[in-house]
Structure 1
Amino acid sequence: MELITGQRFKRTSKYIRAVIILTGLAVLLVFLLFASLVLFSKVLGAPPLAVPQSTLFYSDDGEVIGENDNGQKRYWVNLADISPALIDATIAVEDRQFYTHNGFDLKRIAGAVVADIRAMSKVQGASTITQQYARNLYLGHDKTWNRKFNEAFYTIRLETNYSKKEILEGYLNTIYYGHGAYGIQAASQYYFGKDAKDLTVSEASMLAGIPKGPSSYSPFLYMEHAKKRQKVVLLAMANEGMIPEKMVNKEIGRQLVFNRGHKTSDRKAAPYFQDAVKQALKTQLHLDESTVEMGGLKVYTTLDTKEQEIAEKTFSDVITETSEIQAALVAMNPKTGEVKALVGGRDYELTPYNRAIQAIRQPGSTIKPLLYYAALEKGFTPSSTLKSELTTFSYDNGKSSYTPHNFNHQYADSEITMAQAIALSDNVYAVKTHLFLGEKALIDTVRRFGLETKMAHVPSLALGTSGVRVIEMVNAYSMLANGGKEVKPVFIKKVENHKGEVIFEQQTENKQILDPAPAYVMTQMLTGIFDKKLNGYTKVTGSSIASQLTRKYAGKSGTTETDSWMIGYTPQLVTGVWAGYDNPKNIAVPAEKRYAKDIWAQFMENSLEDKPEKKFKESKNVVGVYVNPENGKLATEYCPVKRLTYYVKGTEPTEVCTEHLAESKPHKKAPKKSENGTWYKRLLNLWGD
């Protein structure tokens, strides 16, 4: 008996030693496996923390005007910009040992296993904040062994390569709080209409309870469940010594004021402008589509929200609802090129086609200032005269001919000055000038003005028959307004990435492209379209809107059968307006022919209403003298009309007007023959270009 017992004891001892050895080997193996994973995670380096984040667009005064998201509204904020109450509430209810464990709470895991065994089902979770963060970043929520292994691996990688602060910040910025709000900043804005840093204890405890079950604990869906969950959070905070126990009932009973909505509007402001901004992000900054759409960028634009609102309101006020005509507007700061307002069509929801930057349309007579600038550089002056009469021009070595017509087929049948020709928009004068300079001269000049669209080498180019974009023309006029300096349309002032790092900041250069003297002379000539002193065989083309204007403007209108334009400026603002049909057809309704002018006048007046009136900066190489606008000669005291006109120094007139020397005093001139036409011809003058 004793022998048998001893053998059994030896056998039992052997089994025990075997179990101990095997257990030790297993522990060692687990330790080695864990150490290998840690070492491997170190070798692999930090896993990327990139998550889809809303890209926000700001106006020039810092107001949010829109955002891009993929259905997940998420705005990344630093841990320092999150309420300490929210941080405490989250740690208390989600992971009390967060600051002490290495990614896994073994005690909590063991407790969860026991609880699950007792209930014969999974009733208690044991995931730490790091594990949840790993799941949110890289994995789905399927319950497979492969997913659990990957979750554990990514948890180790996060803990090995990032600090607790970085992990907590990332978690709070990625966790789902329901109703499309991802991250605490989006949740704070949606539920309470405030930033995460401003959350109170009661608000923080309500939000901290939602991630456990966003659809079950939403106060907008189940307030009773949400309040019970809030109490659990507050009790957890009290147990951890984060708040006094007496605060629990006080905070539970506190009345919460909900917001239910994000700060960013569902209808984004200035949608055509924002499309242009996105295009600029891709073409100028070379950002890919995913970064633009979901990269968490903060894009600070040039948009002036007041001017944008004025532009959109003016469109609706001027254009009748029944009209099918389209229109576009671009307003720029001529010194910097910053686009302050942009309207690409009457209704973005109906058609996002951006006519301000995409459509190529005939500019009509708005091309003439560029032609006459080239003429000024070649020796022409505002007093240069050419005969305005019906003329047929031969070109292409006599193989082709071209006969331009003035509006309403009216001509002076005598010589007129360049200053009067541009004010009356005389087409014959323009074509004569174009052919005198040579067809290549205008094309070379428009390239200097920044126009890139294809131009035809034909006489009619002087009348704007080759298409251009609205934004190109506004940019070209900006160079006249700023004294000839290079300028390009600017939509973006600064861009920050999701970390708050500045990745782009606009730099303005002041490269001189045009001669400032003829540029100033050209500007002064363009003020003539509103000045009745330049009336001749017809009225100046700005006469129909001159009564609406309260300050000095330079500008030019343009009209073709299918397109209506008005572009004009002050030293502070240059604006171009186009109106026409998307599928080009004749603009037959007289009121529609006036849309571009009326929109321009109302927009400029309202936009500049509270701004000081500034004078165009005079170049040192110009001189102003009074001339008789009919012949461009120096005016005398006997001339009935005299107008201050500017010239490049050395080109001003020296010949004195002698037409009125015999008269003792001025008297009204007899109307020209062309002005004695029928009443309907005089009425049609109001809609000339």
Structure 2
Amino acid sequence: METVLTEHLKKARRIFRILLVLGILAGALLLFAYISIFLYAKIAGPPPLNVSQTAVFYSANGKVLDEVHNGQKRYWVSLNQISPYVKDATLAVEDKRFYEHHGFDMHRIAGAVVADIKAMGKVQGASTITQQYARNLFLEHDKTWTRKLQEALYTIRLEMNYSKDQILEGYMNTIYYGHGAYGIEAAARLYFDKHAKNLTLSEASMLAGIPKGPSYYSPLIHQENAKKRQNIILSLMKEDGIITAKQATKALVTPLAFTKPAEKDPNKEDASYFMDAALAELKQDLGIDETMIYTNGLRVYTTLDEKMQRTAEEKMKDVISSSSDVQSAFVAMNPKNGQVKALIGGRDYEKSPFNRATQAIRQPGSTMKPFLYYAALKDGFTESTPMKSEETTFKLEDGVSTYTPSNYHNYYADAPITMAQAIALSDNIYAVKTHLFIGENRLIETAKTLGISSPLKKVPSLALGTSPVKVIDMVNAYGILANGGKEIRPTFIKRIETHDGEVVYQAPSEQKQVIDKRYAFLTTHLMTGMFNQKLNGYTTVTGKPISKYVSRPYAGKSGTTSTDSWMIGYSPQLVSGVWVGYDQGRTMDDVAEKGYAKKMWALFMEEALKGKKKEKFKAPSGLMSVNINPQNGKLASKSCPVQYKAYYLTGTQPKTYCTDHIDHAAKTKKKQHEAENKKFHWLPKWFD
């Protein structure tokens, strides 16, 4: 018996020793694992917290214009920019001991295990906010042991390297709230059209319940489910002493006004074409790659003036008949710096996103003439320079080919006209003669200096705008004339900031003089002639049809080809241009369609500048003005029935007075004198 007992004791001791050794080994392994994980977390350092964020584009007025993202709409906000109600509601339902544990809530894990055993299945989760944050940042949501191990490692790294507030802030900015909204700021804007910092207790408790099942608990889809979830969260907040029972009841019964997609910005202008151009500037001109644009949460401050954009869209709809298939493009710029204030690339972006303002090249017609006359002025022409307007056939350089341009409706003066009249009446013969006289390269050089990027053919018809160009290039070129010859380029972006406010780009403000300001002014003054009916001659000035709409000084030029209609013009404060035509080169046979560009331009400019000072174009030093007879370019005498104020480089003004009307004036004066005498012929009889 004693022997048997001894054997049992020996066996028990062996088992105890084995268990002790195994326990020590297990403890050592656990200690080793803990130390290894700790060392790994230390060596690996803080995990990167980069998440994709939505880029926000602002108008010049500071309002949100548009947003772009990679499918995850997110706006990162700091913890102090989030309503305390959101923070409290989230902690109450997701992780009430968040500030007490170190990434793993052992109390909650034990409770979840017990609940799962009782239910014989997975019924309760135990993931902390840190674990969820790690999963959202770095991992897929598959349920594997490998993923769980990685999640644990990332959780430890987060807890070791970041403060609790940093972790909570990151979590609040990455969690998914449904309908494409990632993060609390995106959710606040989506559901309530407000910022996260302004959310009420009722709104916060509703949003805090969504992440558990973004579709199932979406108040936009399943309001009953969302309401039940909100009630649970408010009850938890009440139990934890965060809010009172009265606050919980009030929050639960408070009606919530959810933002419906159809209600968002119903009157907002459609700046889709402008946005495309702004994105193109980001990528092509500023060299910012798409990944940075769509994921880095940039704040892009654009040049768009919402009021001007709305005005342009309204005038296009008002002027162009809804039954017409004609297309149109429009650009308005600040001539002082090139900032694009409004842009339209077509009549309907959804039907055709092709941007006719920045991408299409069309024949500019007579809108090319100001560049020609600038070159001619530099070569010694003046407003008084005469050339005969008559049907003319030009022999080309090869000595064989000929070119016979014509005026509108084949009207000609059949006599010499001045440059002032030539541009005001848009005489084509004068233009081609000038082009050939000064040399065909001069127009090409001038156009390139003014920023025309399209290739221009060295042909006589270039003077009449037969080489196609871009609308935005033409408006920009007119802007250089308007500002006195300083270089500008079309600019859509004023400033770019990171999501936390660091300025990474500022549009340059320095400018260089690219053309002579004196000749720029002389050209501008010539272009005011289209509105000055003192220049009427064998036909009326081209601006007469819209003269009733304009109320301030403008310089401009219209242009018409068989397929295109243009109007570009400016005041000292604003330059804009309109193109109208068909996409496929179809001819414009409707008279009304040919008048759309002028009318739209005039109505836009008047509305856009309403309430602003009526500025005049100021002549720089070195110029002088005299009154001339616009028919012959000579100094006007008192007898001239029409006197036109013209500008010249000092010393180049005409020296000869007009005598065309002196005899006529003398005869008129004699007749008036004789008529006066007849009135009083009876007076001598009284004294006979």
What interval of TM-score do these two structures reach, taking the shorter chain for normalisation? over 0.9
CA gap 1:38/1:374 in 2 versus in 1, 3 angstroms: farther
Q: Which residue is 2:560 aligned to? A: 559
Structure 1 or 2, whichever has the larger Rg, is 2
Q: Which residue is 1:94 aligned to? A: 94
> How far apart in 2 are the matches of 1:100 and 1:291?
37
CA gap 1:661/1:252 in 2 versus in 1, 3 angstroms: same
> How far apart in 2 are the matches of 1:305 and 1:35?
61
Which amino acid letter does the alignment assign opposite residue 164 of structure 2?
Answer: K
1:380-409: CA deviation from partner (whole Å, max 9, x where unpaired): 111111122222222334243222211111
Q: Which residue is 2:616 aligned to? A: 615
Q: Which residue is 2:549 aligned to? A: 548
Q: Which residue is 2:162 aligned to? A: 162
Check whether the contact 2:565–2:580 (CA below 8 A) recurs between aligned residues.
yes
CA gap 1:265/1:218 in 2 versus in 1, 3 angstroms: same
> Alignment partner of 2:210: what SS?
coil
Q: Which moved more, 1:385-394 or 1:126-135?
A: 385-394
Q: Which residue is 1:354 aligned to? A: 355
Q: Which residue is 2:85 aligned to? A: 85
Instruction: Please report how far the alpha carbon of residue 145 of structure 1 lies from its aligned counterpart in structure 2 after TM superposition.
Output: 1.6
Instruction: Please report how far the alpha carbon of residue 33 of structure 1 lies from its aligned counterpart in structure 2 after TM superposition.
Output: 2.9
Q: Which residue is 2:12 aligned to? A: 12
CA gap 1:509/1:433 in 2 versus in 1, 3 angstroms: same
> How far apart in 1 are the matches of 2:486 and 2:274?
25
> How far apart in 2 are the matches of 1:180 and 1:262?
17
Aligned pairs (5 A) from 1:236-247 = 236-244=236-244, 247=247
Q: TM-score, normalised by structure 1?
A: 0.92
> Alignment partner of 2:662: what SS?
coil
Which amino acid letter does the alignment assign opposite residue 538 of structure 1?
Answer: T
> How far apart in 2 are the matches of 1:448 and 1:133?
56
Which amino acid letter does the alignment assign opposite residue 388 of structure 1?
Answer: S
Aligned pairs (5 A) from 1:198-347 = 198-244=198-244, 247-261=247-261, 269-347=270-348
Q: Which residue is 1:384 aligned to? A: 385
Which amino acid letter does the alignment assign opposite residue 431 of structure 1?
Answer: V
> How far apart in 1 are the matches of 2:563 and 2:257?
56
Instruction: Please report how far the alpha carbon of residue 412 of structure 1 lies from its aligned counterpart in structure 2 after TM superposition.
Output: 1.5
Q: Which residue is 2:489 aligned to? A: 488
Which amino acid letter does the alignment assign opposite residue 270 of structure 2?
Answer: A
CA gap 1:188/1:512 in 2 versus in 1, 3 angstroms: same
> How far apart in 2 are the matches of 1:43 and 1:376?
74
CA gap 1:13/1:616 in 2 versus in 1, 3 angstroms: farther
Which amino acid letter does the alignment assign opposite residue 5 of structure 1?
Answer: L
1:112-133: CA deviation from partner (whole Å, max 9, x where unpaired): 1222122110111011111111
Instruction: Please report how far the alpha carbon of residue 148 of structure 1 lies from its aligned counterpart in structure 2 after TM superposition.
Output: 1.5
Check whether the contact 2:269–2:309 (CA below 8 A) recurs between aligned residues.
no
Instruction: Please report how far the alpha carbon of residue 164 of structure 1 lies from its aligned counterpart in structure 2 after TM superposition.
Output: 2.3
Check whether the contact 1:371–1:462 (CA below 8 A) recurs between aligned residues.
yes
Check whether the contact 2:103–2:159 (CA below 8 A) recurs between aligned residues.
yes
CA gap 1:59/1:427 in 2 versus in 1, 3 angstroms: same
Q: Which moved more, 1:189-198 or 1:351-360?
A: 189-198
Q: Which moved more, 1:453-462 or 1:397-406?
A: 397-406
What is the root-mean-square deviation of aligned Cα atoms in Å? 2.2
> How far apart in 1 are the matches of 2:643 and 2:209?
81
1:132-178: CA deviation from partner (whole Å, max 9, x where unpaired): 11222222222122221222232233333333222211211111222
> How far apart in 2 are the matches of 1:422 and 1:541?
9
1:581-613: CA deviation from partner (whole Å, max 9, x where unpaired): 111122111111111111111111111122221
Instruction: Please report how far the alpha carbon of residue 550 of structure 1 lies from its aligned counterpart in structure 2 after TM superposition.
Output: 1.1
> Alignment partner of 1:27: what SS?
helix
> How far apart in 1 are the matches of 2:314 and 2:660?
50
> How far apart in 1 are the matches of 2:667 and 2:206?
86
Instruction: Please report how far the alpha carbon of residue 458 of structure 1 lies from its aligned counterpart in structure 2 after TM superposition.
Output: 1.1
1:632 aligns with 2:645: no
1:179-229: CA deviation from partner (whole Å, max 9, x where unpaired): 332211122122223211011222212221221222333334444433332
Check whether the contact 1:67–1:268 (CA below 8 A) recurs between aligned residues.
no
Which amino acid letter does the alignment assign opposite residue 233 of structure 2?
Answer: V
Question: Structure 1: 5+ residue runs without aligned partners?
Answer: 669-689
Instruction: Please report how far the alpha carbon of residue 71 of structure 1 lies from its aligned counterpart in structure 2 after TM superposition.
Output: 4.5
> How far apart in 1 are the matches of 2:13 and 2:204?
59
> Alignment partner of 1:299: what SS?
strand
Q: Which residue is 2:654 aligned to? A: 653
CA gap 1:29/1:421 in 2 versus in 1, 3 angstroms: same
Q: TM-score, normalised by structure 2?
A: 0.92
Which amino acid letter does the alignment assign opposite residue 232 of structure 2?
Answer: V
Instruction: Please report how far the alpha carbon of residue 91 of structure 1 lies from its aligned counterpart in structure 2 after TM superposition.
Output: 1.4
CA gap 1:557/1:245 in 2 versus in 1, 3 angstroms: same
> How far apart in 2 are the matches of 1:656 and 1:39?
99
Q: Which residue is 1:572 aligned to? A: 573
Instruction: Please report how far the alpha carbon of residue 522 of structure 1 lies from its aligned counterpart in structure 2 after TM superposition.
Output: 0.8
Which amino acid letter does the alignment assign opposite residue 646 of structure 2?
Answer: T
Which amino acid letter does the alignment assign opposite residue 385 of structure 2?
Answer: S
Instruction: Please report how far the alpha carbon of residue 324 of structure 1 lies from its aligned counterpart in structure 2 after TM superposition.
Output: 1.3
Question: Structure 2: 5+ residue runs without aligned partners?
Answer: 670-688
CA gap 1:2/1:396 in 2 versus in 1, 3 angstroms: farther
> Alignment partner of 1:626: what SS?
strand
1:49 aligns with 2:38: no
> How far apart in 1 are the matches of 2:601 and 2:666?
40
Q: Which residue is 2:21 aligned to? A: 21
> Alignment partner of 2:577: what SS?
strand
CA gap 1:153/1:546 in 2 versus in 1, 3 angstroms: same
Q: Which residue is 1:672 aligned to? A: none
Q: Which moved more, 1:352-361 or 1:300-309?
A: 300-309
> How far apart in 2 are the matches of 1:611 and 1:33?
75
Which amino acid letter does the alignment assign opposite residue 416 of structure 1?
Answer: I
Check whether the contact 1:330–1:356 (CA below 8 A) recurs between aligned residues.
yes
> How far apart in 2 are the matches of 1:358 and 1:137?
40
> How far apart in 1 are the matches of 2:630 and 2:566?
26
Check whether the contact 1:75–1:185 (CA below 8 A) recurs between aligned residues.
yes
Which amino acid letter does the alignment assign opposite residue 169 of structure 1?
Answer: E
> How far apart in 2 are the matches of 1:667 and 1:245?
102
> How far apart in 2 are the matches of 1:70 and 1:153?
28
> How far apart in 2 are the matches of 1:91 and 1:664?
97
Instruction: Please report how far the alpha carbon of residue 666 of structure 1 lies from its aligned counterpart in structure 2 after TM superposition.
Output: 10
Q: Which residue is 1:412 aligned to? A: 413
Which amino acid letter does the alignment assign opposite residue 639 of structure 1?
Answer: C
> Alignment partner of 1:291: what SS?
helix
Q: Which residue is 1:145 aligned to? A: 145
Q: Which residue is 1:436 aligned to? A: 437
> Alignment partner of 1:578: what SS?
strand
Q: Which residue is 1:671 aligned to? A: none
CA gap 1:401/1:41 in 2 versus in 1, 3 angstroms: farther
> How far apart in 2 are the matches of 1:473 and 1:111?
73
Q: Which residue is 2:473 aligned to? A: 472
Instruction: Please report how far the alpha carbon of residue 92 of structure 1 lies from its aligned counterpart in structure 2 after TM superposition.
Output: 2.0
1:120 aligns with 2:132: no
Check whether the contact 1:189–1:262 (CA below 8 A) recurs between aligned residues.
no
> How far apart in 2 are the matches of 1:656 and 1:108?
104
Instruction: Please report how far the alpha carbon of residue 432 of structure 1 lies from its aligned counterpart in structure 2 after TM superposition.
Output: 1.3
Q: Which moved more, 1:376-385 or 1:397-406?
A: 397-406
> Alignment partner of 2:131: what SS?
helix
Which amino acid letter does the alignment assign opposite residue 415 of structure 1?
Answer: P
> How far apart in 1 are the matches of 2:159 and 2:393?
84
Q: Which moved more, 1:261-270 or 1:429-438?
A: 261-270
Instruction: Please report how far the alpha carbon of residue 245 of structure 1 lies from its aligned counterpart in structure 2 after TM superposition.
Output: 5.1
> How far apart in 1 are the matches of 2:255 and 2:277?
45
Instruction: Please report how far the alpha carbon of residue 45 of structure 1 lies from its aligned counterpart in structure 2 after TM superposition.
Output: 4.0
> How far apart in 2 are the matches of 1:131 and 1:424?
77
Q: Which moved more, 1:269-278 or 1:648-657?
A: 648-657
> Alignment partner of 2:615: what SS?
coil
Instruction: Please report how far the alpha carbon of residue 444 of structure 1 lies from its aligned counterpart in structure 2 after TM superposition.
Output: 1.1
1:129 aligns with 2:132: no
> Alignment partner of 1:487: what SS?
coil
Check whether the contact 2:269–2:310 (CA below 8 A) recurs between aligned residues.
no
Check whether the contact 2:486–2:514 (CA below 8 A) recurs between aligned residues.
yes
Instruction: Please report how far the alpha carbon of residue 263 of structure 1 lies from its aligned counterpart in structure 2 after TM superposition.
Output: 8.7
> Alignment partner of 1:646: what SS?
strand
1:665-689: CA deviation from partner (whole Å, max 9, x where unpaired): 7989xxxxxxxxxxxxxxxxxxxxx
Which amino acid letter does the alignment assign opposite residue 19 of structure 1?
Answer: L
